[in-house]
Chains A and B, each alone.
Chain A
Amino acid sequence: MADTSVAHAHESHHPEHQDDANLWEGAKEPFKASYGKLMMWYFLLSDAFTFAGFLIAYGALRFSMPTWPEPDFVFASFPFVNAHWPLIFVTFMTFVLIFSSVTMVRAVQEGHRENRKGVVFWMLLTILGGATFLGSQAYEWTTLIVKENMTVSQNPFGRHIADGIYLNADGTEAKNEDGSPKTFQKNESYLLHKHDGEFDIPKVKYTTGAYAGQVKEAGFGPKAFGALFFFITGFHGFHVFSGVLFLTIIMINAASGLYAARKNGYEMVEKMGLYWHFVDLVWVFVFLVFYLL
């Protein structure tokens, strides 16, 4: 009698006690999520740490530099338009990713309804969104590399550390076209241009700050900027690229009826959806760190 009451009390604390005997049979899902979905979540968690590491490195290096290129000066080009439109093109890219995230949610929802045509249609739109984003990034990179000469080890985008005036090659003060002295202000952005394959680095005379009265070169900006930009946006772009590949494979599988036969509500599409939303999520922070702050 005593034994049974103890066993009973024990059981009431652990209502699933009896199920534990079959714990390794595979029928019981931890957190009520399938193995694949759970592992996708933990993969995304680890990937979030990788991206966070990169973005924190960006922050640490930026804090260690006396100047840092201004995003609204660096990212101001727009395809087919020869104008200075700060941040407009990256806003477009952000919208492309938001749209492709939304179409992915629709694909997952159609999957739950076992609607094959709906899944394929919305996945196709998602793939188009991803490809548009990659094309936009290709344009952005090409402009920076070919037109503006930025590479992983060279950054021609700089900012003046103090007020001053530009000097001619012979050391006299440079003039604007209307005859006024060609001055600049502290924190003003500049881009070094190439002439005949050589960078044209202007001499300047500072009028304020620690170097007041001295002649210096307004040279390259922090080298780390180029490396961080190409590495972090490249790593994100690679995620988008592999996402587009897997979306294509899964769309073809869905069209072939493979997932309909599994009768699990197109779970593969749902797992792919998690990954795709994560790519959008990372872009939220890349956008914040590189373009807004």
Chain B
Amino acid sequence: MAGHQTYEEQKALVFKGLMLLGAITIVEVVIALLAKGHLIHGVKFTEGFGHYLYMLLMIGFSLYKAYFIIFFFMHMAYEVRGLALSVLLPTALLVWAIIAFFQEGNSWGNRRELIKEKNEERVKPVPAGQPQGYILSKDDFRNKI
């Protein structure tokens, strides 16, 4: 495992990893503060195209960090191909989970008004003194056994 690397090369990789992950995190936070309007007065990307671009960028950075951690810190790059595939391929299922559940969440949001309306619906009140609903009589039980 990682036997083809010298000790010095291994130590260099660790330093590179520290710099890379640290730099990406700082860039992420600076972009986040900029996009949410904390750095430059009046500059904000919280709606529309700018917001989508911002989200894509953040997801991209995070996926790169994940790749680096898995392949170099966890040494997946030096494992047998079959091991890497058997661990990484199943995570592709999450792509569908994300699409399906976000679609579902969106749908709950769209139906919120309808659900509220239905919850507030009341049955027409029955005048006082009259029986409510349908009362079963003995006839209802005939020939049923």
Contacts and interface: CB of A to CB of B under 8 A. Distances in A.
Nearest to A48: B91
Contact of A62 (B94, B105, B112): B105
Given A72-B36, A102-B18, A113-B7, A63 B102 contact: yes
B74 A277 contact: yes
B50 to A, nearest CB: 14
B82 A31 contact: yes
A210 B106 CA distance: 20
B141 to A, nearest CB: 47
Contacts of B10: 109
A33 B109 contact: no
Interface string A281-293: 1001101100111
A78 interface: no
Interface size of A as a range = 35 or more
Given A60-B101, A70-B36, A112-B1, A65 B14 contact: no
B17 A284 contact: no
A80 interface: no
Given A87-B33, A109-B10, A281-B70, A95 B25 contact: yes
Interface in B24-49: 25-26, 28-29, 32-33, 36, 38, 46
B32 A52 contact: no
Contacts of A281: 66, 69-70
Residue of B21, B55, B97 most packed against chain A (CB within 10 A): B21
20 contacts: A49-B90, A56-B97, A59-B98, A59-B101, A59-B105, A60-B104, A64-B105, A64-B106, A64-B108, A72-B32, A91-B25, A91-B26, A98-B18, A98-B25, A105-B14, A273-B74, A280-B69, A285-B62, A292-B29, A293-B58
Interface of A: 31-33, 38, 41-42, 44-45, 48-49, 52-53, 56-57, 59-66, 70, 72, 86-88, 91, 94-95, 98-99, 101-102, 104-106, 109, 112-113, 187, 265, 270, 273-274, 277-278, 280-281, 284-285, 287-288, 291-293
Interface of B: 1-2, 7, 10-11, 14, 17-18, 21-22, 25-26, 28-29, 32-33, 36, 38, 46, 55, 58-59, 62, 65-66, 69-70, 73-74, 79-80, 82-83, 86-87, 90-91, 94, 97-98, 101-102, 104-109, 112
